[in-house]
Amino acid sequence: MADHNETGIKGEELAEKFLRNAGYEILERNWHFGKNEIDIIARDGEFLVIAEVKTRRTANFGEPEEFVNRAKQRSLIKAANGYIMIKDIDLETRFDILSVLYNGSSYTVKQIKDAFYPIV
């Protein structure tokens, strides 16, 4: 497996641990709706949290969260709509980004709540 794939997988594991430690209930990991994927779907009280995890080894070229572009946001929104419809969810939905810096021996996880809003 390529280094960047291993880094991404480790980042998702660290992000899930971060959310669990914060009291979130993890509902799904790597959930697919067609060709769209949600890294983590969780419940935080009365919120359904759609979380995109971005992991980088360094922030030399920008913080990980800066790489969640508009196209990725649209993809997450489509997948979230599919999940809500299929699972018949009636919760307020929030889109968060979990920004992970992981260099192989140490890491930091930063959560950006309400990172973006779906355009109506």
Instruction: Give residue-wise pLDDT tens across range 35-90.
Output: 999 999 999 999 999 999 999 988 778 888 999 999 999 999 999 999 999 999 99
Tell me the residue range of the domain where 105 lies: 3-112
CA distance 33 to 30: 10
User: Residue 101 belongs to a domain with what CATH number?
Assistant: 3.40.1350.10
**Is residue 94 a contact partner of residue 111, using CB atoms and an 8 Å limit?**
no
Q: Please state the pTM of the whole predicted model.
A: 0.93
Its sign, for the CA torsion 33, 75, 38, 8, is positive
pLDDT of 88-106, one tens digit each?
999 999 999 999 998 888 8
Number of domains the chain contains: 1
pLDDT of 9-19, one tens digit each?
999 999 999 99
**40 lies in some domain:** yes
The count of other CB atoms within 10 Å of the CB of residue 1 is: 7
